[in-house]
């Protein structure tokens, strides 16, 4: 498999000054997907935005991985509710004016 | 330039201990952190304020200066002169630095700058951070989002050309990657978020991909049936009217609605509601005929 679109976990550990166990636990919790290529652990580069968000929550807010999981789930719910609210507001426009 | 009460910002007493300051800061940071409050400008502003407050109150020297001159910040310059030989800030301050969010000079209040100047910042980072995300709103007419089109907007003096896909909804936000603020220490640029505000159309109302319109139908066509031409969003369509059509009847014109976002060639439906027009000023002949009809009905 080509690793062109993947970032080695070791690079992330160096960049964010984090132990590899942090990323492994994220993987075990299902928050990220680690792929093994020639015995090297990688994450897809498209997941870097979400990973950085988790790193910030962990480093800046002292949120542990279980907490990150809960926060992300709640944010997803908020996002779904906001989308629904927007749809309902737009539908309400049908009956206004 | 208004005085900022950093104690108030952190919701603490003026006699608060270092531990209490840290605790208050962390509590508020968890509440207002931009990752916890995506696309919330008020939270982002509040987050910057608490960072600034922490940067002052979390550092013994700065807190001392703030306590002494804070409310009379105009005298801070004199204080600076008197202490010009003294390096009062601690480069090794151990406080947390939430500098991934807009921690450029512009994000400090004028008050902070006047009191501490540029040297007041305890950064000295080597880590790279993504630049600030920018948010803007774009007002469009409904017909402007009926087809995919390119638009150029100006953000902070820079022209940005981007594509608006057909079918964008009112309130929807799209991200233009890499068009936000400059990265910090060589980090990537932030992103630009554009929220669309779509004005109502005088003739068509929209609910997601479906369009709704009202068509006036004359009494005779409603009673006897026939064919009419109705306006669709991008043209006209012929429509058969069944005899005995009631006021408020709704018909669906399949595929004549709004384009489905990012599904080229797919359209919603157009719902037409008939509003039957009752004649108000009848000629003598009409009145005579209506009376005759009325009599027939009562027989």
d(CA B274, CA A55): 58
d(CA B130, CA A5): 20
Could you tell me if B115 and B189 lie in one domain? no
Q: What is the ipTM of this complex?
A: 0.74
Could you tell me if B190 and B172 lie in one domain? yes
CATH number at residue B47: 1.10.287.110
With cut-offs at 50, 70 and 90, classify the pLDDT of residue A46.
Answer: confident
Residue B68 makes CB contacts below 8 A (sequence gap 6+) with B79
For A92, nearest residue in chain B (alpha carbons)? B207
In chain B, which residues have their Cβ closer than 8 Å to the Cβ of A60?
Answer: 29, 33, 96, 98, 100
**The tokens 């009848």 sit on which residue?**
B282
Predicted local distance difference test score (pLDDT) of residue B168: 95
Instruction: Give the per-residue SS3 of A65-79.
Output: HHHHHHHHHHHHHHH
Q: Compute the average pLDDT of residues A82-86.
A: 90
For residue B35, give the nearest of A17, A53, A94 by CB distance: A53
Residue A71, chain B, CB below 8 Å: the answer is yes
User: Which residue, B120, B152, B174, sits at the end of a domain?
Assistant: B120
In chain A, which residues have their Cβ closer than 8 Å to the Cβ of B200?
Answer: 93, 97
Residue B225 has pLDDT above 60, yes or no: yes
Residue B139 makes CB contacts below 8 A (sequence gap 6+) with B197, B198, B199
CA angle A16, B177, A80 (to 5 degrees): 85
With cut-offs at 50, 70 and 90, classify the pLDDT of residue B188.
Answer: confident
d(CA A39, CA A9): 12
User: Which residue, B59, B93, B120, sits at the end of a domain?
Assistant: B120
Task: Work out the minimum CA distance from A35 to partner chain B, whole angstroms.
Answer: 25
| CB-CB contact of B169 with B196 (8 Å) | yes
Could you tell me if B23 and B99 lie in one domain? yes
Domains and CATH numbers, chain A: 6-95 (1.10.1660.10)
Residue B237 has pLDDT above 70, yes or no: yes
Residue B257 in domain: yes
Could you tell me if B115 and B147 lie in one domain? no
* B 233-292: CB under 8 A from A: none
CATH number at residue B292: 2.60.260.20
Give bridge partners of residue A36 from the DSSP assignment. Answer: A41
Average pLDDT in chain B: 83
Residue B127 in domain: no
Predicted local distance difference test score (pLDDT) of residue B242: 96
Q: Compute the average pLDDT of residues B216-240.
A: 95
For residue B171, give the nearest of A52, A56, A86 by CB distance: A86
CA angle B234, B236, B239 (to 5 degrees): 135
Helix intervals (H) in B15-123: 18-32, 41-57, 60-69, 76-82, 110-116
Could you tell me if B152 and B240 lie in one domain? no
With cut-offs at 50, 70 and 90, classify the pLDDT of residue B189.
Answer: confident
Could you tell me if B223 and B279 lie in one domain? yes
Predicted local distance difference test score (pLDDT) of residue B87: 38
Predicted local distance difference test score (pLDDT) of residue B80: 57
B203 or B101, which is more confident: B203
E strands in chain B = 134-140, 149-155, 158-164, 173-176, 192-198, 205-207, 210-218, 226-232, 235-241, 250-253, 270-277
Residue B118 per-residue DSSP state: G
- Residues B79-135 have pLDDT tens digits of 555 554 443 333 333 333 333 443 444 566 666 666 666 555 554 434 456 777 888
Residue B76 has pLDDT above 90, yes or no: no
Predicted local distance difference test score (pLDDT) of residue B74: 47
E strands in chain A = 6-8, 35-37, 40-44
The H or E element spanning position A55 is helix A48-61
How many Cα neighbours within 13 Å face the side chain of B293? 8
Predicted local distance difference test score (pLDDT) of residue B213: 96
Could you tell me if B293 and B257 lie in one domain? yes
d(CA A34, CA B160): 36
Could you tell me if B103 and B19 lie in one domain? yes
User: Which residue, B198, B230, B252, sits at the end of a domain?
Assistant: B198
Reference A28, options A82, A68, A87, A85; nearest CA is A68
pTM for the full model? 0.59
With 0-12 CB in 10 A as exposed, 13-18 as middle and 19+ as buried, what is B131? buried
With cut-offs at 50, 70 and 90, classify the pLDDT of residue B205.
Answer: very high
d(CA B20, CA B16): 6
- Residues B129-180 have pLDDT tens digits of 677 788 889 999 999 999 999 999 888 788 899 999 999 999 999 989 888 8
The count of structural domains within chain B is 3
Predicted local distance difference test score (pLDDT) of residue B1: 61
Residues B229-264, buried b or exposed e (16+ Cβ, 10 A)? ebebbeeeeebebeeebeeebebebeebbbbeeeee
Predicted local distance difference test score (pLDDT) of residue B17: 94
Could you tell me if B111 and B148 lie in one domain? no
Residues B176-195, buried b or exposed e (16+ Cβ, 10 A)? beebbbebbeeebbbbbbbe
**Residue B221, SS3 per DSSP:** helix
Residue of B23, B36, B99 best to disrupt the A interface, most CBs of A under 10 A: B36
Give the residue numbers spanning the domain of B219.
205-298
- Residues B243-278 have pLDDT tens digits of 999 999 999 999 999 999 999 899 999 999 999 999
Residue B32 in domain: yes
Predicted local distance difference test score (pLDDT) of residue B34: 86
With cut-offs at 50, 70 and 90, classify the pLDDT of residue A95.
Answer: confident
Residue B129 in domain: no
Share of chain A above pLDDT 70, in %: 98
Predicted local distance difference test score (pLDDT) of residue B19: 92
Residue B80, chain A, CB below 8 Å: the answer is no
Residue B230 in domain: yes
Strand ranges across the sheet with B192-198: B134-140, B192-198, B173-176
Could you tell me if B36 and B77 lie in one domain? yes
Average pLDDT in chain A: 90
Task: Work out the minimum CA distance from A82 to partner chain B, whole angstroms.
Answer: 10
d(CA B61, CA B115): 12
Do the bridges between strand B250-253 and strand B270-277 make them parallel or antiparallel, or are there none, so unpaired?
antiparallel
Reference B250, options B269, B271, B231; nearest CA is B271
Residue B198 has pLDDT above 60, yes or no: yes
Q: Compute the average pLDDT of residues B210-231.
A: 96
Could you tell me if B40 and B111 lie in one domain? yes
Predicted local distance difference test score (pLDDT) of residue B96: 38
Residue B234 per-residue DSSP state: T
Provide the token pair at B161: 């050309």
Could you tell me if B86 and B156 lie in one domain? no
């Amino acid at each position: 498999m080509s690793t062109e679109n993947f970032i080695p976990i070791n690079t992330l550990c160096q960049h964010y000054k984090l132990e590899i166990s942090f990323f492994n636990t994220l993987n075990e919790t299902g928050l990220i997907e680690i792929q093994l290529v020639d015995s090297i652990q990688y994450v897809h580069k498209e997941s870097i935005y979400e990973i950085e968000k988790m790193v910030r929550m962990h480093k800046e807010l002292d949120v542990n991985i279980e907490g990150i999981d809960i926060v992300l789930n709640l944010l997803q719910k908020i996002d779904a509710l906001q989308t629904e609210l927007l749809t309902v507001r737009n539908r309400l426009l049908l009956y206004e004016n | 330039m208004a005085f900022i009460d950093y104690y108030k910002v952190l919701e603490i007493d003026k006699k608060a201990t270092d531990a209490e300051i840290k605790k208050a800061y962390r509590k508020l940071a968890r509440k207002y952190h931009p990752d916890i409050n995506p696309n919330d400008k008020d939270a982002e502003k509040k987050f910057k304020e608490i960072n600034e407050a922490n940067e002052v109150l979390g550092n013994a020297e700065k807190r001392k200066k703030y306590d002494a001159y804070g409310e009379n910040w105009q005298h801070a310059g004199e204080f600076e002169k008197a202490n010009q030989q003294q390096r009062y800030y601690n480069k090794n301050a151990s406080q947390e630095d939430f500098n991934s969010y807009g921690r450029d000079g512009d994000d400090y209040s004028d008050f902070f700058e006047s009191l501490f100047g540029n040297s007041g910042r305890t950064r000295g980072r080597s880590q790279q951070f993504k630049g600030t995300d920018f948010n803007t709103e774009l007002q469009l007419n409904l017909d402007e989002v009926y087809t995919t089109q390119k638009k150029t907007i100006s953000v902070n003096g820079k022209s940005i050309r981007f594509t608006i896909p057909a079918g964008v909804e009112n309130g929807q936000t799209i991200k233009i990657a890499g068009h936000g603020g400059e990265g910090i220490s060589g980090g990537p640029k932030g992103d630009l978020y554009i929220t669309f505000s779509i004005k109502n159309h005088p003739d068509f109302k929209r609910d997601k991909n479906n369009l709704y319109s009202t068509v006036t139908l004359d009494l005779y066509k409603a009673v006897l049936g026939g064919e009419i031409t109705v306006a669709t969003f991008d043209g006209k369509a012929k429509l058969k009217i069944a005899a005995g059509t009631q006021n408020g009847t709704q018909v669906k014109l399949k595929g004549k609605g709004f384009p489905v976002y990012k599904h080229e060639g797919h359209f919603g439906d157009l719902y037409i509601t008939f509003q039957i027009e009752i004649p108000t000023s009848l000629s003598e002949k009409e009145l005579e005929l209506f009376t005759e009809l009325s009599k027939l009905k009562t027989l």
